[in-house]
Each structure stands twice: as structure tokens, then as C-alpha cells.
A = this chain, B = another copy of it.
Amino acid sequence: MHRFFIPSEWIRQSRVSLTDEPAHQIIHVLRLKPKDHIILLDNSGWEYEVEIDQMSPGLIQGRVIGQGLGATEPRVKVTLYQALLKAEKFEFILQKGVELGVSAFVPFVSERCVVRKPGENKLARWRKIIQEAAEQSGRALLPALHPVATFREASDSAHGASILLWEEERSLSLSRILKGPPFQASPTFNVFIGPEGGFPPAEVAYAESRGIVPVSLGHRILRAETAGLAVVVALLYERGEFG
């Protein structure tokens, strides 16, 4: 069944009114009809099954015929702190990260970043990518996109279990960190991934001063956009979130 994140005020008691993009999708792209069912999500964690009963140009109405708590959210909340990357790579990270179970994204500018801070158009596009991926992959909560930060701001904002992937780290492996205290049972996790050129030692030192632990991902050299997803999968797998 097709899923749509909507503003919570679109649902009043058991009546639903949809306009804007969801209405456009339902009428013109999916070509649904009265009596078809859809799932609405108001980002509360609840899922509402809705039967469409009236359709007019730009407005769809229906009624809630069932509701339940979504069961697809990982129990561990992963925030991916991702240095800005070239456009298609950053968008790839957002899309795949949402599918895999990332709860929030913090884009940041690192010393070796070669791309500029995104303008409002690009941020809107990123939010759309996140929303579509969340709808398609069955997420019950919409992952947050935080404002673009500097590396220091990002490091300062990371509380609790935090790791930074560093290709020059030789001794401390991801699995050792994930399997041992205190990270083993942490309900939240912050993962820092650098830009194409990696982190300079000064940034790693600053991160360490904030309690962020540099870890290695083994022998192969992963591209920036692959590394982040590999860490997210490993982390969620370690916590039993991949079945």
C-alpha cells in the first residue's frame, strides 16, 4: 500500500483531507480511485490506514479505517554526520541511509570539502529525497535533516556513543567498538564520515577531544559514500536490526 508522510493537521478525528504533493501523486501519478486504501504517516510513529472516498482536483478526502504503531523503526537511533560530498553522492547517502535505517542526518563542512554549502533549493531537494525514501522503505518516522554545520559545531553537538571513520586509524576496529562497553548497549549512535579526501589529523584530534572515537573499517579503501553506508549496516546488523 502506498505511504505518505503528511502534516498531522490533515487528519481530524477520523476524517482526512489531502492537498498539495500527496494529492497530485495520488491523482496523477498513482491514479488511485475512491475505495482505494493508502497509509498516512504524521511522523508520530503511528500509521493510519485510510480509505479514499472523495476525489476532486487538488483535494482528496477519506476516512481512517485503522491505525497502528509502525514496526519498522530501528531501536537504535543512528545519526549520520556526513561531510558535504559532490551532489549525486550526497543524495545517494541520504536515499540509502533512510532505507537502511538512519534516524537523522547532519551535513557538515570539513577542511577538505570541495563543495559549497547547499542553497535553499538543494536543501528542499534533499528533504524530498529523504521523504520519498522514507515512504518507499516503509519508515514510520521521517528522518531529520539538520542544518549544515561546521565540523566543530557538529563535533560539539554529538553526545553519547560517537565514532569517526578514519582511514589512517590502524588499531581500533569498528567491531571492537560496537561489541564492547560502553558503546555496546548505547541507544543512540553518532557516525562521522569525511569528504572524498578524508579527515585531516587536526580534525580527528578535535573530534577525539570531544569524545568521538576514530575507528578503522579494515583493509579495503571505501569511497566516502560507501563507507557511511557500510558503517550503518554493520551497526544495525550488530544490534539485530537486519532480521
Selected contact of A242 from candidates B137, B138, B217, B241, CB within 8 Å: B217
**How far is it, in angstroms, between the C-alpha of A238 and the C-alpha of B174 when the chains are bound?**
12
- Given the known interface contacts A174-B242, A175-B240, A242-B175, the answer about A72 and B230 at a Cβ–Cβ threshold of 8 Å is no
User: Is A116 an interface position by the 8 A CB rule?
Assistant: no
From residue 95 to 147 of chain A, which have CB atoms closer than 8 A to chain B? 96, 99-101, 136-139
User: Is A226 an interface position by the 8 A CB rule?
Assistant: yes
User: Is A222 an interface position by the 8 A CB rule?
Assistant: yes
User: Is A173 an interface position by the 8 A CB rule?
Assistant: yes
User: Is A243 an interface position by the 8 A CB rule?
Assistant: yes
User: Is A87 an interface position by the 8 A CB rule?
Assistant: no
For chain A, give the interface size range: 20 to 34
User: Is A216 an interface position by the 8 A CB rule?
Assistant: yes
From residue 203 to 239 of chain A, which have CB atoms closer than 8 A to chain B? 215-223, 226, 229-230, 233-234, 237-238
User: Is A185 an interface position by the 8 A CB rule?
Assistant: no
User: Is A65 an interface position by the 8 A CB rule?
Assistant: no
Q: Are B243 and A99 in contact (CB under 8 A)?
A: no
- 7 pairs, CB–CB < 8 Å, chain A vs chain B: A173-B242, A174-B237, A218-B242, A229-B229, A230-B233, A230-B242, A234-B234
Sorted nearest first, the 5 A-B pairs with minimum C-beta distance are: A173-B243, A218-B243, A233-B233, A72-B219, A234-B237
